């Protein structure tokens, strides 16, 4: 790939002008008889598309599991459900290397500062999935020591319903996150 066109909108170039510039370059190459070699060596795309493609296909999850939901995630990471199909096979045990956190299980008020600190240590951009009823709303633990939803501690991007959720629901949430990442603008 020789060069990448500037992303329309972010670089101040309107979408129509960027597309016209791409057509002009290809037309000029056809005039000089370089059509075959030029298309073999160059790919025209937007910077957003390339960066989002890399992000969505290389999610590195960090699991904050405190109850039965974490056990369900073990099934997702095993070969039967094969989370590696979605590019999230590299489970990180250090938050500094992860960009996606999956919170599964009950979170107590004593764990809240730890969860917040782990979230702050994660690499940017970062995403959070609240897995199961306990992480989403406290579940049936409506008492003085249980946080009634991790969204009171850290921002949550996706919620997975269930107690515990099925592995297919976890894979569906990861797929939904990938779809959202495809449409996300890149900030440079």
**Whether the Cβ atoms of residue 42 and residue 1 lie closer than 8 Å to each other:** yes
Cα 161–chain centre separation: 19
Nearest to residue 71, comparing CAs of 63, 80, 79?
63
> What angle (nearest 5°) sits at the alpha carbon of residue 113, between those of residues 116 and 71?
70
The radius of gyration of the chain's CA atoms, rounded to the nearest angstrom, is 21
Cα 6–chain centre separation: 23
Cα 86–chain centre separation: 10
The answer to the question of whether 145 is labelled as a binding residue is no
| DSSP 8-state code for residue 10 | T
Nearest to residue 74, comparing CAs of 91, 99, 93?
91
**Whether the Cβ atoms of residue 112 and residue 147 lie closer than 8 Å to each other:** yes
**Whether the Cβ atoms of residue 149 and residue 132 lie closer than 8 Å to each other:** no
State the binding site for [4Fe-4S] cluster: 68-69, 134, 163
State the binding site: 68-69, 134, 163
């Amino acid at each position: 790939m020789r060069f990448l066109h500037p992303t329309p909108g972010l670089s101040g170039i309107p979408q129509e002008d960027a597309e016209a510039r791409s057509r002009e370059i290809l037309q000029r190459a056809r005039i000089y008889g370089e059509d075959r070699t030029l298309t073999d060596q160059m790919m025209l795309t937007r910077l957003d598309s390339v960066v989002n493609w890399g992000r969505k296909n290389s999610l590195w999850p960090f699991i904050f599991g405190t109850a039965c939901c974490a056990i369900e995630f073990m099934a997702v990471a095993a070969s039967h459900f094969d989370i590696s199909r979605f590019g999230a096979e590299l489970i990180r045990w250090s938050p500094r290397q992860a960009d996606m956190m999956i919170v599964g299980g009950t979170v107590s008020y004593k764990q809240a500062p730890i969860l917040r600190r782990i979230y702050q240590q994660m690499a940017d951009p970062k995403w959070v999935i609240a897995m199961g009823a306990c992480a989403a709303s406290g579940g049936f633990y409506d008492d003085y020591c249980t946080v009634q939803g991790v969204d009171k501690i850290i921002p949550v991007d996706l919620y997975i319903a269930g107690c515990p959720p099925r592995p297919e629901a976890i894979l569906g949430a990861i797929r939904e996150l990938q779809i959202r990442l495809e449409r996300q603008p890149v900030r440079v």
